[in-house]
Structure 1
């Protein structure tokens, strides 16, 4: 079964996917929505289903959840 990237909306095939927090991403799509830094699967926070690095999440939303 092919999943769809929550960032770009395009299909994510098995050989290219980065699975993080229950979603499949393209490797280049899994980046912080604020600073654009590439993220490691499972090592980031989310807000409104968008990934953020821990630093940007703390600055913007105050506390870390979803790690």
Structure 2
């Protein structure tokens, strides 16, 4: 099952005052992963989605909107 989704991570990352590198460091991934997430080209694991949600202080449902 390959769902299409929109990712609003960039908006919340900027609101949190974080660079892509800052966010990557906080959640334990490479900056390239954040770039792919923000472009909607990477579907994160639940563990990563929760970590991102906590790092930017936004609900998962606000970060990832699935069709």
Q: Which category describes the TM-score, using the shorter chain as reference length?
A: under 0.3
Question: Taking CA–CA contacts closer than 8 Å with sequence separation of 6 or more, which of the two structures ends up with the larger relative contact order?
Answer: 2
Name the one with the larger strand percent: 1
Give the TM-score normalised by the residue count of structure 2.
0.25
Give the TM-score normalised by the residue count of structure 1.
0.25
Name the one with the larger helix percent: 2
Rg larger in structure: 1
